[in-house]
Amino acid sequence: MILATDQIKSGMVAIVGPPNAGKSTLMNSLLGQKISIVTPKPQTTRNRILGIVNSSDHQILLLDTPGLHTAREPLNREMVRIAMDSLSEVDIVLFLIDVSLPVPEKSREERDREFSSWLERVNCPAILVLNKVDLIDKKKLLPLIEAYAAFFPFKAILPMSALKGEGTESLLREMLVHLPLGPRYFPEDIPTDASERFLAAEIIREKVFLKTGQEIPYSTAVLIESFQEEPEKGLVTIHAAIVLEKDSQKGIVIGKGGLKLQAIGTAARKDIEKMLDQKVFLKLFVKVRKNWSQDERFLKELGF
């Protein structure tokens, strides 16, 4: 959708980088509201999610992308493909890294090669965002900036804490320097182009991530089987399936006496109600689809 209006600063910005660097947190911080789900577990984001930063003189289309990593399984390869494709489709790339993670000396050369292989696809202005600087000794910051300045011709290198919202104003100003003049692509009151069904599924998946152990999240998908709006009752009824790969995982998600599944549903319902601004009846089911993450047909059904 392109809206007829006077030209403003507008364009598309991809947020890319390794898993768990804080890409979704950064997008939510820039938007001032939660669009992308956030968990402590790497590779939470699987699809490309659009968030729209609106102002009277600019509109920034932010793409939150899956984490870049060495991928072997079909699901992971699709995630990396989605992120890499974003690099050639945007006006600005924000390359985000977590500076709080120590990198052993023997791993630095390998990491630099990996970063180079990703960044060589970039053909637009790139800004390096050093995230989680609140978690490191400030004396380490300048050497980090100098090292990355020699590594790639970034237009700027900006330290920030996406979680605390520190540095977002500086980042916004830097993006506006490099964004072209263009139209407003979406109405000013739209924060994302994602459907309510998609966002509901993501919220449910987030709660599964947060309330189960390490072995579950990567084997979890969520399918919205029905999404029925009843305006006269002020109610939305959602039936959703939590899809797992192994029978042995069902008990972990359901929990003793169904308490775990109930907790997932209650937490998800509250967030979905907040998003929709109305009451929600949420019914969750748990299904097993063997090795779904390697089933390319099912991956397409999930939107990959």
CATH of residue 29's domain is 3.40.50.300
In terms of domains, do 118 and 221 share one? no
296 three-class SS: helix
In terms of domains, do 83 and 178 share one? yes
**Do the domain assignments include residue 220?**
yes
**Do the domain assignments include residue 190?**
no
Signed CA dihedral, 251, 252, 257, 260: sign only? negative
**pLDDT-based confidence at residue 158 (cuts at 50, 70, 90):** very high
In terms of domains, do 42 and 162 share one? yes
The residue segments making up the domain with residue 217 are 196-301
**Do the domain assignments include residue 73?**
yes
> Which amino acid type is present at position 207?
K
What's the CATH code of the domain at 213? 3.30.300.20
In terms of domains, do 149 and 16 share one? yes
**Number of folded domains that form the chain:** 2
Token output for 47:
């699809």
pLDDT reading at 258 higher than 60: yes
Rounded CA separation 39/179 (Å): 30
* For range 194-219, the mean pLDDT: 85
**Do the domain assignments include residue 202?**
yes
In terms of domains, do 112 and 148 share one? yes
Helix (H) or strand (E) holding 183: strand 181-184
In terms of domains, do 155 and 212 share one? no
**Do the domain assignments include residue 191?**
no
**pLDDT-based confidence at residue 253 (cuts at 50, 70, 90):** very high
**Do the domain assignments include residue 189?**
no
In terms of domains, do 224 and 150 share one? no
pLDDT reading at 247 higher than 80: yes
pLDDT score of 101: 81
Reported pTM: 0.81
In terms of domains, do 174 and 212 share one? no
pLDDT reading at 138 higher than 90: no
Write out pLDDT tens, residues 275-297.
999 999 999 999 998 888 777 78
Rounded CA separation 300/53 (Å): 29
In terms of domains, do 180 and 200 share one? no
The DSSP 8-state label assigned to residue 135 in this structure reads G
Signed CA dihedral, 193, 198, 204, 205: sign only? negative
In terms of domains, do 226 and 282 share one? yes
In terms of domains, do 273 and 132 share one? no
Rounded CA separation 262/65 (Å): 30
In terms of domains, do 176 and 217 share one? no
Which carries the bigger pLDDT value, residue 291 or residue 136? 136
**Do the domain assignments include residue 227?**
yes
